[in-house]
Amino acid sequence: MINRPALGLSGAALRDRNVKIDRRENQSCARCGKGIWENGSRHHRKYKSRGGGDEVSNGVLLCGSGTTGCHGWAHHHPDLARQAGFAVNSWEDPALVPVRLYLAGGRPVYLDEEGGWSTEPPVAPEPTGSAA
């Protein structure tokens, strides 16, 4: 597990992050595949209240709002959302928790910071330094 501080973005950096998420999801709901041109929202898999940030790997485009559509489902069904990777526990790194992405045929995939995904888990960086 990688424990890193939450990333807080605003302005152009937040818009860039949102574009990466929207492109990854092909402007459709990450859970059900519904095309989203309005009334969609970017869902934090690891909620901000749990220490989640604005990393691309922590965001998915979902239809609805926090109370409607698939975004509402993720908040109202936390156990099912966790099983599908749409909710991440406070001690987990979203980049290391797979999510069942609609565009991946519902398979569990790992999201990266460039706006892509992979069926393979990310490789943890090698520790640096030497023990004496």
pLDDT digits (tens, 9 = 90+) for 64-122: 988 999 999 999 999 999 999 999 999 999 999 999 999 999 999 999 999 999 999 99
Is there a domain that residue 5 lies in? Answer: no
Is there a domain that residue 57 lies in? Answer: yes
According to the model, what pLDDT value does residue 9 have?
A: 66
Which stretches within the chain are classed as H helix?
Answer: 11-24, 69-76, 78-84
Residue 1, pLDDT > 50, answer: no
**What percentage of residues in the chain have a pLDDT greater than 70?**
86
In whole numbers, what is the pLDDT of the chain averaged over residues?
89
Domain that holds residue 89: 12-117
According to the model, what pLDDT value does residue 40 have?
A: 77
Is there a domain that residue 123 lies in? Answer: no
Is there a domain that residue 88 lies in? Answer: yes
Residue 128, pLDDT > 70, answer: no
DSSP code of residue 35: B
